[in-house]
């Protein structure tokens, strides 16, 4: 059996219906025999309703945010394929983005060091 202090702690979550079954049973049993905590419950229900309604009146996210999210999500690279020949020292890269605009990149290796030749995402020839 729980006491009033414990019941008061749990009442907000009794109101939002997220208590575990056992806690819910305990608090229901306490409330049945405690008018002070029933009053506390009534206040919590009223406050919960006021808060839910008030939060719901807060502004909605502006449409422009979706546009930004969509545009940036489309720009995130889906996959990258690299083909090349180590022996020839040449590597060609193709990465595909959600926008459907492929990005090409090629590198020439000279004595094991990469020399960037072309990167379409950075505006072309270097």
CB of 43 to another protein, least distance (A): 7
Count Cβ atoms within 10 A of the Cβ of residue 30 and give its class: 0-12 exposed, 13-18 middle, 19 or more buried: buried
CB of 90 to another protein, least distance (A): 31
Of 61 and 125, the one with the shorter C-beta distance to another protein is: 61
> 4, 28, 42, 51: which one contacts another protein (CB under 8 A)?
51
Mention every residue, 6+ apart, whose C-beta is less than 8 A from residue 24.
14
- Which residues ranging from 52 to 111 are in contact with another protein (CB under 8 A)? 52-62, 64-66, 68-70, 72-73, 76, 78, 98
Of 57 and 126, the one with the shorter C-beta distance to another protein is: 57
Contact letters for another protein, residues 11-40 (x by CB under 8 A): -xx--xxxx---------------------
Closest CA to 107 of 79, 97, 88: 88
Whether 117 contacts 126, CB under 8 Å: yes
Of 31 and 92, the one with the shorter C-beta distance to another protein is: 31
The three-point CA angle 34-37-38 to 5° equals: 85
State the Cα–Cα distance between residues 78 and 120, nearest whole angstrom. Answer: 16
State the Cα–Cα distance between residues 88 and 100, nearest whole angstrom. Answer: 30
Binding site for another protein (CB under 8 A): 8-10, 12-13, 16-19, 43-44, 47-48, 50-62, 64-66, 68-70, 72-73, 76, 78, 98
């Amino acid at each position: 059996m729980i006491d009033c202090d414990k019941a008061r702690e749990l009442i907000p979550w009794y109101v939002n219906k997220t208590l575990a079954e056992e806690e819910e049973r305990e608090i229901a049993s306490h409330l049945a025999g405690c008018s002070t905590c029933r009053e506390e419950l009534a206040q919590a229900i009223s406050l919960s309703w006021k808060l839910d309604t008030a939060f719901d009146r807060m502004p909605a996210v502006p449409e422009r945010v979706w546009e930004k999210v969509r545009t940036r999500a489309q720009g995130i690279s889906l996959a990258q394929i690299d083909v090349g020949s180590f022996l020839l020292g040449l590597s060609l890269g193709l990465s595909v983005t959600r926008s459907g605009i492929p990005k090409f990149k090629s590198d020439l290796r000279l004595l094991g060091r990469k020399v960037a030749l072309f990167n379409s995402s950075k505006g072309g020839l270097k």
